[in-house]
A and B are shown apart, each in its own frame.
Chain A
Amino acid sequence: MEDQKTMKDIHLEERVVSDHAPRITARGVNVHYGENHALKDVDVDILSGTVTAFIGPSGCGKSTFLRCLNRMNDTVANARVTGQILLDGEDIYDKRVDPVQLRAKVGMVFQKPNPFPKSIYDNVAYGPKIHGLTRNKAELDGIVESCLRKAALWNEVKDRLTAPGTGLSGGQQQRLCIARAIATSPEVLLMDEPCSALDPIATAQVEELIDELRASFSVVIVTHSMQQAARVSQKTAFFHLGHLVEYGETGQIFTNPRDPRTESYITGRIG
C-alpha cells in the first residue's frame, strides 16, 4: 500500500460499457451486522448473460454482498442493509417486495452442497412445487428432466430419480443443487463459493457448467480462487475490507489492475 494517492474505490464512470443490459443495479449498499460495518458503500451492475466473479480475501464482504442480492441477509437476526439494489428496475428492498418471490427470481447455490434429505426428483421439483409453476405431473417431470440436463447430471441419475439426493457424490450433489436452483427459472443465479467443498474433477465439471449456464442466466459467483475467477467469469469485482476496490473486465483486472490493492492481492501479497 505504498502509493496512497492512486488508491481509489471504483466509480461507475470508469467502467467499460458493455453490450449486455444490466440486470441488477446496486448503489451505495451498506451492511451492518450489529456494530460491525461489513460492507461499505458498494456500487455494482450485474449484467445479463454474463458471469460476474466476486474475489477478495476472507471477510472482505463479498459473500455478504452476494447475500444482499436475494435478501438472504433477512434471515440473519441483526443484519441491517441500506442503499439501493434494483432488479430489472425494481427496488428489491421495497416494502412491497416479498423476499420469497424475489428469491424465486434470484436463485442461490451455496458453498457446501445442501441437498434436502429427499429423492433427487423431489429436490429438483421442490422449487416449482412451492411456487406453483406447473399444472400437472407431466409438466413437472419435464422441468425436472430439463434442469437435470442443464446441470449436466441427467445421464448420471436418470435411472435413480427416487434415490435420496444425499447419497450422491459431492460434485453430483452440488450439480443437483444447481439443478434445484435453476428449476424455479431464476433470472440471476448467485453462487457462494460453489466449488470450495469439491475435489478438482468435480470443480472442473461445475465450472464447465457455469459457463454453459451463462446462456440462460446471469451468474454471480463468489470465489476465493483467482484462477477460478479467471477461468469462468467475464467480469470481476475485487472486494477488500468491506470496500469494492475495483470492478471491470476479468482480463483487465488480472492483467492490468488499476488499484495497488488489487495488484497486491493478485500477486499474492495480501489475502
Chain B
Amino acid sequence: MAGAFGPPPFPFCRKLPLMTVLLLLSVILVIAGAGFFLGRGRALSRVSGNVRALHSLPGYYGWHAAIMTAMPALGILLVWLIAQPIVLERQVLPYLPADIVADSTERTLAMADVRRVAAGLDMAVSTGAMTEDEAGMIRTELTDVRSRLASVGVALGSDVKRETLQAAQAYRKSFGAAVLWRGIVVLAVALAGLALALRLTEPDFRARNRGEAVMLGVLITASSIAILTTVGIIWSMLSESLNFFSQYPASEFFFGLTWSPNFRGGSDLGFIPLLWGTMYISLVAMIVAVPLGLFTAIYLAEYASPRARAWIKPVIEIIAGIPTVVFGLFALVTVGPFLRDWFAEPFGFGNSGSSVMTAGLVIGILNIPFISSLADDIINSVPQSLRDGSYGLGATKSETVRQVILPAALPGIVGAVLLAASRAIGETMIVTMGAGAAAKLSLNPFDAMTTMTVKIVGQLTGDTDFNSPETLVAFALGITLFVITLGLNVFALWIVRKYREQYE
C-alpha cells in the first residue's frame, strides 16, 4: 500500500485559479460588509434617527443590503465556476484532431494534457522563466517545450505535440479572459444588488420579513444536504458501476466464483467469494457480539445496582469510541498471531495470522457496546408493569427476563442485531488489517479470506488506470455494499420504530 499515491501531479495548477476565486470571494464579502453599514445608515437617515418610525430594527435593513449584495453575486460566481471548464473545453477542442475529440476517453486524456501544459506555461511565466509573450508564441517546431518546462520544474510525461501546445495557448488565453470577465460580472452584480437594496430602503419596507425569508431558505437548503449526500452517493456509484458493467458482464460479476484481478487485463472479477468472506466474517462477529452484548445489556438493565451501572456502562461504551483502526492493529498484532499459535497451527487449520476468525472476533468485540446499549434501551422501555406482573406471580428474575422481557423486547432486539450486522458487513479497517487479501471460498474459519470492503480499498488505492474494469469494479462493490446495508438499516429502523410505537 505504501507509496501507492505519489504527491498529486500538479498542485500549483489548481492553486493559481483558486487564489483568484478566493480574492473575488473576499471582495464580495467586503462589499457586503459595506452594504450592511450603508443600508443601516440609510434606513436611519430616512427617518432622521427615529427608530420607531422604521418597520424593522435598523440592523435588519443592514442585513437586507448585505444579502442583496452577496447572494446574487455568489450565485453567479458558482454558476460561472461550474460552467467555465465546459465552455473552455468547447473553445479548445477545435485545435485537437477530430478523431481524438470523437472518443470520450481520448478527449478526457487530451484535455488533461492541454491543462497540464497550460499550467506549465503559467508556472514558467510566474517564476519568470518566460515572458508572457514568449509563452504565447513558442512553437514546438522551434523549441523543445518539454525540456524548457522541465527547467522551471514542470515535469511532463511525454513530448508536447504541436496541437496540444496550440490548444494550451488558446486555453490560457481564454482562461485569462474568463477570469477577467468573471471578476467584472460578479462585482457588477454585487454593486447592482447593493444599489437596489439601498433604493428599497424606505421606512415602511419590511426588511425583517425579507431577511427572515432568506434565512428560512438557508435553513431549508442546509436540511437538504442529507438528501444531496444520498443522491451523490447513489449517482457517483451508479454511474461508475454502469461504466463497469459496460466493460464487464454483470452476470459474471454477480455469479462469478473466482476473484483474480489482473491489471494487464483478462481478470476474473467474481463477486461470490467476496460476498462469502463478508458474510462468514459477519457471522463470526455476530456469534461473538450477540450473546455478549445481550447478556451485558440484561445484566446492566436488570441486575446491576445503580452504582455499578453508572460505572460499567460508560466503560463498555469506551469500546465504541475507540477508532476501528486501533482494533485493526489489535487484530493484526495480537489476536491474529494468538489464534494462529494456539488454535490454527496446533489443530492443523493452517498457519495464517489473518483469518476469518481473527477479523470476526475483533469485529464482534467492537459490536458488543453497540448491541448492548441498543438492547439496554429496548429492555428498559419494556413497561415495569410487565415485570411486576411476572414477579407478582412468583417468577425469578431470570424467568422474567427470558419469558416476559425478552419476548416483549424481541422485535427491538432483532432490529438492534440487524443494525449491528450491517455495521459488521460495512466494517473496513479491521478486515483490511485482520482478514487477509485472498478471495477464497472456504469453510475453514482459520483461512485468510477477504471481503467487499477490503477489495474496495484494494482496487481504489493502486496506481491504476481509472477506466479499467479492475478499478471500476470497486464502485460496483460499493453500490452492492450500499444496497445490502441500506436494506438492513431500513428494515431494522422500521422494526425498532414499530416496536417503540407498541409501548407509546
Contacts and interface: CB of A to CB of B under 8 A. Distances in A.
Q: Direct contact between A and B in the complex (CB less than 8 angstroms)?
A: yes
Interface stretch (B25-33, B272-280, B394-402, B435-443): B394-402
B390 A126 contact: yes
A108 B390 CA distance: 10
A100 B390 contact: no
B389 A131 contact: no
B246 interface: no
Interface stretch (B125-133, B370-378, B403-411): B403-411
Given A116-B408, A130-B399, A100 B388 contact: no
Contact of A100 (B389, B394, B404, B407): B394
Interface string A3-42: 0000000000000000000000000000000000000000
A77 B306 contact: yes
Interface stretch (B87-95, B348-356, B379-387): B379-387
Contacts of A108: 388, 392-393
Given A100-B395, A127-B394, A130-B399, A177 B389 contact: yes
A107 interface: yes
A103 B391 contact: yes
Nearest to B389: A114
Interface residues on A, range: 20 to 34
Contacts of A107: 392-394
Nearest to A114: B385
A48 interface: no
B393 A180 contact: yes
A250 interface: no
Nearest to B391: A75
Interface in A95-116: 100-105, 107-110, 112, 114-116
Interface in A66-101: 70, 72, 75, 77, 100-101
B386 A181 contact: no
B408 A103 contact: no
A258 interface: no
A150 interface: no
19 contacts: A70-B392, A75-B391, A77-B305, A100-B396, A103-B394, A108-B393, A109-B392, A116-B389, A116-B408, A126-B403, A127-B393, A127-B394, A130-B395, A130-B396, A130-B399, A180-B389, A180-B393, A181-B392, A184-B394
Interface of A: 70, 72, 75, 77, 100-105, 107-110, 112, 114-118, 126-127, 130-131, 177, 180-181, 184, 190
Given A110-B385, A112-B385, A126-B395, 5 more contacts: A72-B391, A110-B388, A116-B390, A130-B394, A184-B393
